[in-house]
Structure 1
Amino acid sequence: MPLRGTIVVDENLCKACELCVEACPQHVIGLNAEIITPRGFHPAHLIKDECTGCGICALVCPEAAITVYREKRGAQG
């Protein structure tokens, strides 16, 4: 069973550079065209519920605007 994850984007930091969009191996991040941040950008957000919590998006984000949360693996047995 694949891991499940989610991201939280700090909209005050995101500058819509799209590095996270390009780096996401699951292709689940996009820019939210419905929101404009106080800095005038469309922030990144999840566009599909297939995030694995790999953390690549957070690593490539130059503003450290992304926090990744990953579910814990259950006990195998």
Structure 2
Amino acid sequence: MSRIVFLEERCKGCRLCVEACPAHILRPSGRFNHQGYEIMEMDGQCTGCASCAVMCPDTAIRVFRSVKIRNTAGEGAA
């Protein structure tokens, strides 16, 4: 399963990631970083599209995509 990690001290609470997420799984967390900005959190299953990370002006989001295992059954059989 893909997931995202917020670098909380870099987040400025602009919510551009919330708007960019096609799966609508990002939301304000209700927690604040040391600078006083509300940080975002993931609430659902991430697709790994990385739209949020691309949109983030502060590079505060890291996306970790799950590895897809290919079905090799039947391939290469004579």
**TM-score, normalising length: structure 1:** 0.88
Which position in structure 1 is the counterpart of 2:55?
A: 60
State percent identity of aligned pairs.
38
Which position in structure 1 is the counterpart of 2:76?
A: none
1:17 and 2:52 correspond: no
Task: Identify unmatched segments of 5+ residues in structure 2.
Answer: 73-78
Provide the alpha-carbon RMSD of the alignment.
Answer: 0.9
1:29 and 2:26 correspond: yes
Aligned pairs for 1:34-53 within 5 A: 35-48=31-44, 50-53=45-48
Specify which structure has the higher proportion of strand.
Answer: 2
Structure 1 segments of 4+ aligned residues over 3 angstroms from their partners = none
**Greater Cα radius of gyration, structure 1 or 2:** 2
Q: Which secondary structure state, in structure 2, belongs to the residue aligned with residue 32 of structure 1?
A: strand
